[in-house]
Structure 1
Amino acid sequence: MIYTALVKRLDPQIEEEVTIEIEGIEFTGFAFICPYKIEVGESYPVSIGFTILNELIIHEIQRERKEIERIGLGYDYYIRGLLHADAIDAGLVFTDDDEYFSDYPEFVNKYIEMKVDRIDIEFLRTTTD
C-alpha cells in the first residue's frame, strides 16, 4: 500500500534512519530504498514493511488492537493488528514481502502481535522525479 509520509527527523549519524508520520502514526524506521534526497518537513510517497533478523514470533491477542509500539530506544517494534494472508493491518498496512505469514495460516483473519527487528520504509518515485 502506498502512503504519504511526512519526514519528521533524519538521523545525522545513521544515514538510513528516518522518523516519519503517516496518518497520525509516527515511527522510526530504515529507508532501505531512497532514490532521491529527502528533507525534514516534506512529504513523500512510501510503502512500508518489516525486517525479521532471527525468528518471527506471532501470537494471537484477545483484544482487537491495531497499533505500532516501539520497544525501548532501539529499532524493535511490536506490531499488533489484523493478519491477512500477505499483510498485517495495524492501522497502517505492512506488507509481507518475505512470505512469513504463509507459515501461520491459523492466524489469518485474527488479531495478532508480532515483534519485528525494524520497520522498513521505501521512498517511491513519483512521475515528476
Structure 2
Amino acid sequence: MGKKQPHPLDRRGQEEHQAREEEFQRIVEETRHADFAWLMGNQRGRRLVWWFLEMGNVFETSFDTNALAMARKSGLKEQGIELWRMINEICPEKYVKMAVEQNQFRNEHYRDDSTDDK
C-alpha cells in the first residue's frame, strides 16, 4: 500500500503503477509458492496440511439438513479445496507422501477396541 494511484488522465503514470502492481503480485505469488513448498517439504508441515484438509471437509460431503450448518461446511470446504489446489499446483508429488505418512501415523496411534477379543 505504497504510493497512491496516479491521476486517471496520466497514462504513463497509470502504466507505471500497473507495472509495479504486477511485479508486486508476482513476488507475492513466488513467495507463497516457496513458503508452501517449504511447508510440504517437512513431515510436520505435511501433517498440518492434512489436518487443514480434514478441517476443510475436503474428504466429506457438505450436506446437512440444517441450512446454516451446510453453509458453514460449504465455506470450510472452499478453503480446503483452495489448499488442495495449492498442493496440486506447487508440489503434487508430496500429496502421496503425505497420505502415506498420515496412514502410518493413524495405524501407529489409533486403537480400535471393537476388534479386540473379549
TM-score scaled by length of structure 2: 0.27
- Structure (1 or 2) with the larger CA radius of gyration: 2
TM-score scaled by length of structure 1: 0.25
Structure richer in helix, relative to its length: 2
